Amino acid sequence: MPLLDTKYLNGYKEQRLAHLALSFITMGYVWQEGEQGSIKALPQNLAIPFWNVSQCLGLPAILVHGDSALANWKKKDPNGNLDVIFSFPGEDSAKGFFLVTLLVEMAAVPGIKAAVTSINAMIQKDDTKLHQALQDIADSIECMVTALKMMQGNVDPQVFYGVIRIFLSGWRDNPSMPDGLVYEGVHEVPKQFSGGSAAQSSVLHCFDALLGVSHSGESGNFLNRMQDYMPPSHRQLIQDIASSPSLQQYIVDSRKPKLQEAFNNCVSQLVKLRNQHIIIVTNFILVPAAKARDIRKKATSNDNILLKAPSALEERGTGGSGIMSFLKSVRDTTKVVCVPSAH
């Protein structure tokens, strides 16, 4: 493979496309032989351009949510039917996983716009405008839940767990690669980066910042670290929302039942989204992991698709978190920001 020079990339979109391409090649190269055959070093022909384009974008040199979910799509035809640009082994399930994740992100767009509107309305003390914005946010999150439910019909849980999941895994908090990965020609000391994770989705961080959901402890530390895996402009938006006046406090002080109800509906929809994520993780990770353990114990078959899955990640997300305790923690933290009704 020739040593590519990033200086020939023309503008932001080409840089994002290059990061996407190099990240898929990298994940394929690292995990092609499964968890037992994971490699220790990325060849310089891949490592140098990947590192350089990552520096340009302010992203780490690994596949991130912003690659696989936000940049990995194209229109198949003028009607706007979507297809992926790159995929992993797993055929229709791999394509379904990336496209459904994209649809969840697209469903969030009106909610993110309404979040900005709600902050401006609060500053202007325009409660009518604020009420409408809160309704728009709740509707948007509800659409995200509907989109996320599509995962069930478009992705085979056994294929996701046994084939696709390893290619989303990183080299931090991963027993298969305890030392990380050497980027040849860039760093002699191994680097440790987390794999792609829904926790890298900036939309959820934006809604948390707006509604005053504050995660602490291990979950909070993990979520803060995941912001390093987002495009810098996304991180900035989260910080801008977080540094604006407290929407929750404004709603409490208003003592207007209509506003309180609209705010609590936003929180309720966010809890539903996190509950749906728990259902997805149960069906796509925990249940297949239990089946894989059972097959290994019985040693009835060596060709079952579940046995291809990395056993080191049975209880962990691809980002490296203890997956179920993390998801339940962020769901429970979300619940507590509901405001009491004014009487």
pLDDT tens for 44-62 read 999 999 999 999 999 999 9
What CA–CA distance (Å, rounded) separates 147 from 149? 5
The model scores a pTM over 0.75: yes
Residue 303 pLDDT exceeds 90: no
Residue 301 pLDDT exceeds 70: no
- Strand blocks (E) in 161-210: 181-183, 187-191
Per-residue pLDDT reduced to its tens digit, 107-125: 999 999 999 999 999 999 9
8 Å CB contact between 216 and 208: no
For residues 320-337, give the mean pLDDT. 84
| Residues 6+ away with beta carbon under 8 Å from 37 | none
Per-residue pLDDT reduced to its tens digit, 148-173: 999 999 999 999 999 999 999 999 98
Residue 11 identity? G
DSSP 212-247: T----HHHHHHHHHHGGGS-HHHHHHHHHHHTSPPH
